[in-house]
Structure 1
Amino acid sequence: MSRALVLDTETTGLDPATGDRVLEVAAVELINLVPSGRHYHVLIDPERDVPEEASRIHGFTREMLIGKPKFAEILPGLLEFLGDDPVVAHNAVFDFNFLDHEFKRAGAQPIPRSRMVDTLVLAKKRFPGLPNSLDALCRRYGIDNSMRTSHNALLDVQLLAQVYLELMGGKQPGLELATSRAASSAGPVLLDAAPVNRTPRPIMPTAEELEAHAAFLKKLKEPLWTVAAE
């Protein structure tokens, strides 16, 4: 069994070195590349203002985050959920850079870069020269992202989990077969169909057909079945 976590963050800006902070963290658990149903999601008080340009992207304002836990308070739960498994993110260097600064502020060791899996790098290798944003990949793989009207970390990781599965080779044959067939209205659900009793209908040649067949065989020179019978 392989375990990985798909992670995303939302922030107050683009550069933690200039004081920007993490204000949302979300992660979903994958078991053998498939979401297990377990997820981690938390809003964080960034302890600073949220610029208007950042709010336009993710929808969070300073007022919405006042009273939420500080990053140091959510860190133990985050570390427990991540464990020691690979961490998948889109443009992962951005998220890891912010987490490095937050971990340092909280007196914790950063997540090793050896655990980082960047879906942007994977997408660029598979689709060189094409747009490889999360939205572009969802469109390319036919993944419904109509709910993504803003950059919400929890929705983003749920979409990215589907994209990651496709980037790693697509859904396994037979995966969720019973569910998909039951949900389909295009045809019968064969998995639950009762056995069909059929009455045998043997085909018996007539005397004329047997005579015609024998006459035809006489025209063949040493047919194999005649030789074998002798």
Structure 2
Amino acid sequence: MPVKQVARSRPEVRGLGMTSQRARDRLIERLQGEGIRDRRVLDTLRQLPRHLFIDEALASRAYEDTALPIGRGQTISQPYVVARMTEVLIEHALPARVLEIGTGSGYQCAVLATLVEQVYTVERIDELLRNARRRFRKLGLDNIRSRHDDGRLGWPEEAPFDAIMVTAAGTDLENTLLDQLAPGGVLVAPVGPPGRQELLRVRSTDQGWQREILAAVSFVPLLGGVV
């Protein structure tokens, strides 16, 4: 399946100077140097305007390989982390239906939406979700369904999912989410307390859950409830 093209006719989407295509190309070169190999992921990050997912005052830093604040105590993840999580999610097969827990700025969701048929995303902070929805519309990403809810509950009415990505760290894997994974599906999530978090990939197999530790990471905590 080819990468879905985002709407790029508007000048603010194309970018200028520190948000231009040249800046994006430099980021891709850095990600390749750090070990990202999946061409589909690299092409997606090359075309997606990350500067639209952060505050205008931080736009000049959009294509640095660093996490940036988005308000409400949340961050937009480091591009390397976004690329790596996406790469390991689609490594064995390109999923058709993906559930994302933690919409945040919407950037990771937009990356997924350019690669798969349908993304379902859940965010507990209403303000962040409303901002993300505006960005999705601006980019013409019409294969995203979003929900304001407690992400730890998943989206049971739409389960099962071929893949699930969690973008905040719980102290352990949520059984509620694992139960919404289709046979043969894969879940990628950071797990652990601050300072001791690990990125895990869990696959549903005929022999049960296959669990891999991929890397040490640092994410905001996975919280319950809605605000």
Higher relative contact order (CA 8 A, sep 6+): 1
What TM-score, normalized to structure 1? 0.26
The structure whose Rg is larger is 1
Higher helix share: 1
Higher strand share: 2
What TM-score, normalized to structure 2? 0.26
